[in-house]
Amino acid sequence: MARGRRATHGRRRAAAGGSGGPRAWLLVVVGLAAVSLLLFDRPLVRGDGLAYYMWLEPIAGGRGFDLSGPAARFASVNEYQVFRYPPTGRWASAFSFGPAVLLGPWYLLGGQLPDPAWVDSAHYWRWQAEPFARSFAVMLGANLLVAAAAGLAWSASVRVGAPAALAAFAALAALWGTPLLYYGSVEPFMAHGPGAFALALAVWLAARPAPNWLLVGLALALAALMRWQLVLTALPFALMLLVRRDWSALGRLLAGTAALAWLVPLSWWTMFGSVTAVPAAEQNMRPFLTGPAFLLDVVVSAERGWLVWSPLAGLGCLGLIVLARHRPALGWPLLGAVVLQLLINASVTEWQAGWSFGMRRMADLYAVYAVGLGVLLAAATGPVGALVRIGTAAALAWGVVLFVAHLSYINAVQGWGGPALDEVQHLVGSRLGPRVALDAIAGHYGPWAWPRPGP
């Protein structure tokens, strides 16, 4: 009996991928994810990040969708982030309030802390109209959400059969090889980190052998609060349950999704007087959504193309096809979620997503890529497995190099970035390229720049 128990325990440890066991791998994933974010963290709120940040005061303060306070408070730095909407006379925003729901406690915590003596407080007030302590606390909260997303992605990969060590590699590679690293550290005030967390939670719940579909629906609705386009990720799951005629599960999924998602049209009605408003179209007074006319650009454009800037995501999607062979109720809906996000992003007139590191609107699907990659690495053996491992290493290296190149390019050449090859050429094309990159990082990103980061 004792020998049998020891043998069983040994098999479990081997399946976990190492002598440390599953819990040790989870700590490795979360710890390395957090460290990698801190190395490039930037607590200065700028650009679109300010638009999401401006929701923190009313949401955390219990004032709902009233943006009049932030409009006055941030008047000196508000460029386009909030605007007065003439038909209703109310202050409005084209950016979702959802991240403030998750980051509000950190905002309140930061408000109780003084700025440390080593920080140039006047610099922060000038550029963001807020003290360092407050934005720093919110940044740490965003870091925590992304690190938690990495842990959830690892756990979901293990649930679908990936060994713990491969699942850990996949979770970290999907972070470092896609735009989520950038939007979890360099621009942590954007919605992509919170969105990635909410979707990772949904994937983790759906990966259970017998999912609680009410909880899955709630997690997907939480993702929709972060960015309303993410509500589309619920459709493939609903279709799968409809095809299987699992009416009870379908009802719970829809009930969970509706329980939170209704707040999105409520916010539109409050600001724009319509539950069907397209906020960006209302702000710019021109059409924002069309048919998926820009699909080719979204996928393969050198300027922002999804596969060009993060080929690792494509490998993850190949893994979803493998997953669908033995877990069709999970693999196909996850792949369908990717397809629907590509289609909705291809239907946006500003498909480039403005000043963006790659196809940032696909970064929220991080956990989907991580799970697919873990399954692919576990399933590929022999010569095919060797090709998969080589391709994964190359895609990861490309993502890391492009990340560093982008930080250099936007500070030394043009602030909104350029085609992928141009940015890499700027980094590696001359002997001064690495030095320029190091100077850009030292002046803008990471703990050494926190006292006074360049704007």
Q: What is the mean pLDDT of residues 150-159?
A: 98
Do the domain assignments include residue 138? yes
**What is the number of structural domains in the chain?**
1
Do the domain assignments include residue 156? yes
Q: What is the mean pLDDT of residues 81-104?
A: 97
Q: How confident is the model at residue 102 (pLDDT cuts 50, 70, 90)?
A: very high
| Selection from 42, 32, 28 nearest residue 140 by Cα | 42
* Bridge partners of residue 84, in order along the sequence: 91
Position 2 scores a pLDDT of 41
Do the domain assignments include residue 158? yes
Do the domain assignments include residue 17? no
pLDDT over 70 percentage in the chain? 95
Show the tokens assigned to 368. 């989907």
Q: What is the mean pLDDT of residues 341-349?
A: 95
**Which tens digits make up the pLDDT trace of 115-153?**
999 999 999 999 999 999 999 999 999 999 999 999 999
CA 311-316-321 angle, to 5 degrees, is 130
Show the tokens assigned to 290. 């069309």
Owning domain of residue 362:
23-449
Q: Residue 4: is its pLDDT beyond 50?
A: no
Do the domain assignments include residue 173? yes
CB-based contact 365:227 (threshold 8 Å): no
Q: Residue 35: is its pLDDT beyond 70?
A: yes
Task: Quote the pTM value.
Answer: 0.94
**Which tens digits make up the pLDDT trace of 358-404?**
999 999 999 999 999 999 999 999 999 999 999 999 999 999 999 99
CA 441-444-446 angle, to 5 degrees, is 70
**Which tens digits make up the pLDDT trace of 7-20?**
334 434 444 444 44
Position 228 scores a pLDDT of 95
Q: What is the mean pLDDT of residues 303-323?
A: 97
Tell me if residue 91 falls in helix, strand or coil.
strand
Position 7 scores a pLDDT of 38
Non-local CB neighbours of 142 within 8 Å, separated by 6+ positions: 99, 103, 184, 188, 189, 193, 194
Helices 213-226 and 98-110, axial angle in degrees (round to 10): 70
Q: Residue 421: is its pLDDT beyond 50?
A: yes
Do the domain assignments include residue 253? yes
Do the domain assignments include residue 170? yes
Do the domain assignments include residue 9? no
Show the tokens assigned to 236. 């493939």
Q: How far is CA 411 from the centre of its chain?
A: 23
Helices 382-412 and 164-176, axial angle in degrees (round to 10): 30
From residue 349, alpha-carbon distances to 8, 292, 308, 345, 446 in Å are: 57, 9, 20, 9, 34
| Selection from 239, 388, 398, 217 nearest residue 319 by Cα | 388
Work out the burial of residue 414: count CB atoms within 10 Å of its CB; fewer than 13 is exposed, 13-18 middle, 19 or more buried. Answer: exposed
CB-based contact 74:54 (threshold 8 Å): yes
**Which tens digits make up the pLDDT trace of 248-285?**
999 999 999 999 999 999 999 999 999 999 998 888 87
